[in-house]
A and B are shown apart, each in its own frame.
Chain A
């Protein structure tokens, strides 16, 4: 595909495909992902939207109301990849028979629970088979729909309801699974990681590439959750910016196996800047826990250096 152009006004003027009236929380990162990814669909193109069980599903398709202008399918928690792969295959079959003429795109959304954990096999299978579809993970780093239980995407030391910080615990003891790298190892044509920065150009450009690159594509979007991360709704933008400026959540793409770093902060901020904005890390700022922050920083640094090596920087 050609170079993506970004005309903010034109894109924001496009008709909404996720319409108002859904029941997601104020300050939720999940809906921002859906709304903006769907904005990257070219006007006139049709789509079938898939969804894993989670906050998004129960809040955006609560019978009898659908918040989607496009066709939509949810079947279960762990099978968003497989379900949409069936839809995409049906499209091929019906197109071959001349029963469908229009251009359709296939995009499915899952939280980190449905993607990193219970849905990993289904996602891996769908990507390996090369279906022409996009899997979007809106990663809020815990099972938020069931009440903030840890997932393999939860960062170290986060206070969740299954890794509570307490007298003998400082939250989650393991580090985050690096799913974008796992997906890149599937050798699919497009993998990218993004979050909500500035005028959403980074997200838009990546969503458009993901949708219009033939074959499987995976988009990992850091999508803060006000309930789980414990922040005030307006702080979402600053948290996302901080995640990028501290290199906790780097912006990168893997195009046909080539790693590309999209943004390198002029001055990398210390991880405290990201942690201090969220109640789930509050316990780390007790004087006796400060060494855990240093540990967290070490892991962020290690991963950042590793990423730069991959990007040949």
Chain B
């Protein structure tokens, strides 16, 4: 029986964590993810979970302790945002290359410059090449659902990679919305017991983790890691299928919203997709064939699937909530346009920068994006540079 209630994104994640009952969680407070370790600490204090919480002195130590705990054979979790993720950087790579199935709840917030605490994707986008699987949520429900699927993907024998479960800071993490939760027992059954094959504390055999590898061996290790990332695509889909059986909610690499017959598509990640769906409904009433491709999985990057879903569109707006300072746009824009080129998907495309440092995005802003797409397709409108949405003139 589903449990219908209302809670914030952080509360939803904490509820998922309670049901998963991980073995070890090191974490360090940083806005807006702070509530997650707070909630878990409270659960520990009340005996609701068996988790050993480590109140580390920094995020670098948070990920380092997570590496130690996971290598030792414990199901391990951490949470962070923004500068915290940036501070972990070095060891974020170590976690992935050590093939440790750690799960990290990332509550997306911009990186400093100027200091700001609001929603942006520059933190996790900066870690996009670190070897972690990245799954993004539009709302609290998806954050909860993604979290419950995370360990099944990370720990899968074909994968053995860490997973980031991302949601937008404040907009999702702090806003209270309706949600449908699962009962504890079916969740526990779905997630399963963690039974690693090799780990430091395996009594029958010693194990060594984290070698120095000379050039003769290192490249093969990286290729093996890349292969695991590619294999994770099927696992992500398989786990989603199982999860649908359990929850009735279906997930894939992306969600298409009125996309099938769309002339004009927005491609976006996270909470802005809700706003976009509203704009689409309004435009459809006016006869504009607007649609959305909401990216759920960014790593591995399902470029072929995304491009295929956009085939037939006249114009596409790729929305980035993270600057890359390349002078060409953002990370989603760069990767998706490359994928469209390879797939020979010939739609007009523009990469739009939006919502940086929590800049609000209204339905009207998105309507304007669709109007520009129409203008591009019908009148050949071009953009001198990648535009910023809602910028103060």
* Complex CA–CA separation, A246 to B167 (angstroms): 61
Dominant SS among interface residues on chain B: mixed
| Contact residues, B54-91 vs A (CB, 8 A) | 54-58, 60-62, 64-74, 76, 90-91
Q: Mark A69-95, 1 if CB is under 8 A from B, else 0.
A: 111111110110111111111111110
B211 within 8 A of A: yes
CB of B200 closer than 8 Å to a CB of A: yes
Jot down 26 A-B pairs with beta carbons below 8 A, ordered by A: A48-B200, A57-B212, A62-B212, A62-B214, A63-B211, A68-B208, A71-B201, A73-B67, A75-B98, A79-B61, A81-B61, A82-B56, A82-B61, A83-B68, A86-B68, A86-B70, A86-B71, A90-B74, A90-B76, A93-B50, A94-B23, A97-B50, A121-B57, A122-B58, A122-B61, A129-B54
Across the A-B interface, give the 5 residue pairs with the lowest CB-CB distance, nearest first.
Answer: A86-B68, A125-B57, A86-B65, A90-B72, A82-B61
The digit string for B190-216, where 1 denotes a CB below 8 A from any CB of A, is: 000000000011110011111111100
Of B91, B212, B217, chain A has the most CB atoms within 10 Å of the CB of B212
Q: Known A-B contacts: A94-B23, A125-B56, A129-B54. Give 11 more (CB < 8 A).
A: A64-B217, A72-B209, A73-B68, A73-B71, A75-B64, A82-B56, A86-B54, A87-B200, A90-B24, A122-B64, A129-B55
The segment out of A99-107, A174-182, A198-206, A218-226 that lies at the interface is A99-107
Cβ contact within 8 Å between A75 and B73: no
Assess whether B90 is in contact with A76, with CB atoms less than 8 Å apart: yes
| Bound Cα distance from A86 to B72, whole angstroms | 8
Residues of B near A50 (CB, < 8 A) are 68
Assuming the A-B contacts A87-B69, A121-B57, are A73 and B212 also in contact, with contact meaning beta carbons closer than 8 angstroms in the complex?
A: no
A128 contacts chain B at the CB level, 8 A cutoff: yes
Among A68, A75, A92, A126, point to the contact of B94 (Cβ < 8 A). A75
Interface centre among A81, A84, A85, A128 (most CB of B within 10 A): A85
Q: How far is the CA of A102 from the CA of B94 in the complex (A)?
A: 28
Expressed in whole angstroms, the Cα–Cα distance for A156 and B253 within the complex equals 60
A218-269: which have CB < 8 Å to B?
none
Q: B217 contacts which chain A residues (CB < 8 A)?
A: 63-64
B300 within 8 Å of A (CB atoms): no
Task: Please judge, given known A-B contacts A84-B68, A102-B203, whether A64 and B211 are in contact too, CB under 8 Å.
Answer: yes
Q: Do the beta carbons of B23 and A90 come within 8 Å of each other?
A: yes
A117 to chain B, nearest CB (A): 14
Instruction: List, in ascending order, chain A residues with CB within 8 A of B61's CB.
Output: 79, 81-82, 85, 121-122, 125-126
CB distance from A131 to the nearest CB of B (A): 9
Which of A's residues lie within 8 Å of B, judged by CB?
Answer: 46, 48, 50, 57-58, 61-64, 66, 68-76, 78-79, 81-94, 96-97, 99-102, 104, 121-122, 124-126, 128-129
Report yes or no: B65 in contact with A83, Cβ–Cβ below 8 A: yes
Distance from B209 Cβ to chain A, minimum over Cβ atoms (Å) = 4
* Identity of the chain B residue whose Cβ is nearest the Cβ of A108 in the assembled complex: B68
Instruction: Tally B residues with Cβ within 8 Å of A.
Output: 44
Residues of A within 8 A of B206 (CB): 68-72
| Assembly CA distance A93 to B95 (angstroms) | 20
Determine how close the nearest CB of chain B comes to the CB of A108; give it in whole angstroms: 10
Closest to B23 in A: A93
Max chain A CB contacts within 10 Å: which of B50, B52, B61? B61
Q: How far is the CB of B73 from chain A (nearest CB, A)?
A: 6
- Bound together, the chains give a CA A102 to CA B58 distance in angstroms of 31
Q: Is B51 part of the contact surface with A, judged by Cβ < 8 Å?
A: yes
A84: chain B residues at CB < 8 Å are 68
Q: Does B291 contact A (CB under 8 A)?
A: no
Q: Is B26 an interface residue (CB 8 A)?
A: yes
- Complex contact A63–B68 (CB within 8 A): no
CB contacts (< 8 Å) of B57 on chain A: these are: 121-122, 124-125, 128
> Which chain A residues border B62 with CB–CB below 8 Å?
82
Q: Are A87 and B68 closer than 8 Å at their CB atoms?
A: yes
A92 to B55, CA, bound (A): 15
Q: Does A93 lie within 8 Å of B211, measured CB to CB?
A: no
With the chains together, A102 CA to B61 CA distance in Å? Answer: 27
CB-based nearest B residue for A86: B68
Does the CB pair B211–A75 fall under 8 Å?
Answer: no
With A71-B207, A90-B23, A90-B74: A58-B212 Cβ-Cβ less than 8 Å: yes
